[in-house]
């Protein structure tokens, strides 16, 4: 994937430009006053709630009620009227509908979710994945005994590329020639994490139908930087894990979502998630005590670099994120957020954290000054 710059016009408040220190970054196009909201986004291309919080977080507004289960689940009767000819699997499994692994805080949120155009296609794949996961839950997962082995494989770009090339030339043609019933025998047993990632990728495929390459959100998404190699070098097991998620989706995705599904799209969804994702945090709590409920991708907001002295504060209200200036800025100033709630750490610890978790040597103004003054 080539990275272009500038990728698109996200807002009149800033331009996205190349920097010598940290890829592309955002620069104010004018003097702008403190407290100005320079970006407001609710156009996520993919979101996921952590498995352990799946019943405790509203899948529409992301409300979390201190560990209490959400009361509203979709029933068969709520979706019957939405089914089309394309939702063959869901039609034939409607009697056993489990609720697609979705919980809501109110009937308003549930009904707002159901009015998202063609949401039935996403509900269908969620239900298929849930059904597959539950049916295999009691089977032994061979990967449970192989974690150390899978985490010790060597990782390099040619190795990653050749694994995917093998899937392309051997596994895909094998599956493509089989009848659907036979393909099921090739479904891998997946873990809770892999199930959750399969949901995240499905969610992204669903949103990318709306945010196609002609939209600002779509353009921003396809231009996101991928951190596939860095992340896999740190966690080699991810190479295996991604193959299982890909194979599961390749076999299970219904027609409605499989049109644009291919190895390249899958790798970009996963690779750009590492390093561009925002946490969905519990609202109203301090940085130290809030729960991390899940994560989501807002491509238009993914061009802010990190600074240890950020001039933007991030916040969330329901399913919208706001980026607000916390100081006056001048035309040409770099506009930065902070990535991980680490501002209280010492320079060395902050930089180590960013290196290990975000794979970069922080070149922000504060780090540069602190390093210079320590010499
Ligand atoms: C969310 S993206 C930000 C946009 C990115 N610069 C780009 O061109 O796509 C995060 C990546 O930007 C770079 N980055 C962000 N903040 C940085 C900093 N303070 N110093 C160096 N690189 C930084 C790192 O490569 C990081 O993985």
Query: What is the pLDDT, as a whole number, of residue 9?
Result: 55
DSSP 8-state secondary structure symbol assigned to residue 253: -
Q: Locate 220 and state its tokens.
A: 């921003």
Q: Which protein residue has the closest C-alpha to ligand 1 atom 4? A: 303
Query: What is the pLDDT, as a whole number, of residue 284?
Result: 80
Domain extent listing, the chain: 14-42+298-374, 72-273
Instruction: For residue 167, give Cα distances in angstroms to 244, 364, 365.
Output: 11, 41, 44
pLDDT of 6 over the 60 cut: no
Q: Give the model's confidence band at 372: pLDDT under 50 very low, under 70 low, under 90 confident, else very high.
A: confident
Ligand 1 atom with minimal separation from the 227 CA: 27
3-state SS, residue 211? coil
CA angle, residues 313, 334, 274, in degrees to nearest 5: 65
Single pTM value for the model: 0.95
For 204-219, write each residue's pLDDT tens digit: 999 999 999 999 999 9
Domain 14-42+298-374 listed as CATH 2.170.270.10: yes
For 239-272, write each residue's pLDDT tens digit: 999 999 999 999 999 999 998 899 999 999 999 9
Query: What is the pLDDT, as a whole number, of residue 159?
Result: 98
Kindly state the average pLDDT of the residues 73-77: 97
Q: Locate 337 and state its tokens.
A: 């957020």
pLDDT of 15 over the 80 cut: yes
Strand residues in the chain grouped as ranges (E): 14-18, 24-28, 37-41, 46-49, 72-73, 103-104, 278-281, 292-297, 305-306, 312-317, 320-325, 334-337
Q: Which protein residue has the closest C-alpha to ligand 1 atom 15? A: 305
Which residues face 279 on adjacent strands?
295
For 29-40, write each residue's pLDDT tens digit: 999 999 999 999
pLDDT of 7 over the 60 cut: no
Q: How far apart are CA 278 and CA 296, in angstroms?
A: 5
CA 91 to chain CA centroid, nearest Å: 29
User: Which residue among 24, 305, 314 has the greatest number of ligand 1 atoms within 8 angstroms of its CB, and so is best to mutate?
Assistant: 305
Q: Which residues are within 8 A (CB) of 236 and not within 5 positions of it... i.e. 6 or more apart?
A: 150, 151, 152, 153, 154, 155
Residue with tokens 């689940």: 73
Which residues face 337 on adjacent strands?
306
For 164-177, write each residue's pLDDT tens digit: 999 999 999 999 99
Which residues face 350 on adjacent strands?
none
Q: How far apart are CA 236 and CA 233, in angstroms?
A: 6
For 295-316, write each residue's pLDDT tens digit: 999 999 999 999 999 999 999 9
CB 276 near ligand 1, within 6 Å: yes
Predicted ipTM > 0.90: yes
Query: What is the pLDDT, as a whole number, of residue 273?
Result: 94
| Least confident interval from 123-127, 259-263, 371-375 | 371-375
User: Which residue among 27, 219, 306, 309 has the greatest number of ligand 1 atoms within 8 angstroms of its CB, and so is best to mutate?
Assistant: 306
Query: What is the pLDDT, as a whole number, of residue 287?
Result: 77
For 42-66, write each residue's pLDDT tens digit: 999 999 999 999 999 999 999 999 9
Q: Give the model's confidence band at 370: pLDDT under 50 very low, under 70 low, under 90 confident, else very high.
A: confident
């Amino acid at each position: 994937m080539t990275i272009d710059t500038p990728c698109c016009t996200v807002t009149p408040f800033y331009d996205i430009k190349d920097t010598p220190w940290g890829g592309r970054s955002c620069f104010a196009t004018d003097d702008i006053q403190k407290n100005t909201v320079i970006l407001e986004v609710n156009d996520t291309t993919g979101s996921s709630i952590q498995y352990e919080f799946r019943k405790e977080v509203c899948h529409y507004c992301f409300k979390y009620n201190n560990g209490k289960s959400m009361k509203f689940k979709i029933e068969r009767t709520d979706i019957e009227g939405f089914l089309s000819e394309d939702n063959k699997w869901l039609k034939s499994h409607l009697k056993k509908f489990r609720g697609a692994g979705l919980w809501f805080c109110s009937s308003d949120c549930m009904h707002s979710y159901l009015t998202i155009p063609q949401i039935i296609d996403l509900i269908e794949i969620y239900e298929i994945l849930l059904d597959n996961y539950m049916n295999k839950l009691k089977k032994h997962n061979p990967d449970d005994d192989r974690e150390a082995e899978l985490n010790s494989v060597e990782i390099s770009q040619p190795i990653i590329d050749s694994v995917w090339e093998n899937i392309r030339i051997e596994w895909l043609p094998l599956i493509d020639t089989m009848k659907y019933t036979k393909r099921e025998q090739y479904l891998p047993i997946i873990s809770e994490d892999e199930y959750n990632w399969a949901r995240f990728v499905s969610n992204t495929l669903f949103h990318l139908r709306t945010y196609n390459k002609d939209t600002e959100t779509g353009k921003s998404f396809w231009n996101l930087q991928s951190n596939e190699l860095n992340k896999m070098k740190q966690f080699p097991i991810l190479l295996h894990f991604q193959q299982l998620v890909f194979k599961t989706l390749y076999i299970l995705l219904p027609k409605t979502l499989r049109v644009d599904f291919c190895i390249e799209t899958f790798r970009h969804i996963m690779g750009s998630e590492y390093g561009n994702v925002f946490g969905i945090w519990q609202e109203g709590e301090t940085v130290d005590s809030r729960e991390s409920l899940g994560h989501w991708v807002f491509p238009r907001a993914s061009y802010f670099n990190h600074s240890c002295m950020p001039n933007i504060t991030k916040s969330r209200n329901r399913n919208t994120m706001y980026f607000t200036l916390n100081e006056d800025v001048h035309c040409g100033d770099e506009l930065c957020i902070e990535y991980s709630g680490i501002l209280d750490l010492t320079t060395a610890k902050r930089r180590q954290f960013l290196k290990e978790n975000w794979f970069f040597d922080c070149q922000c103004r504060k780090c540069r000054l602190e390093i210079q003054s320590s010499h």
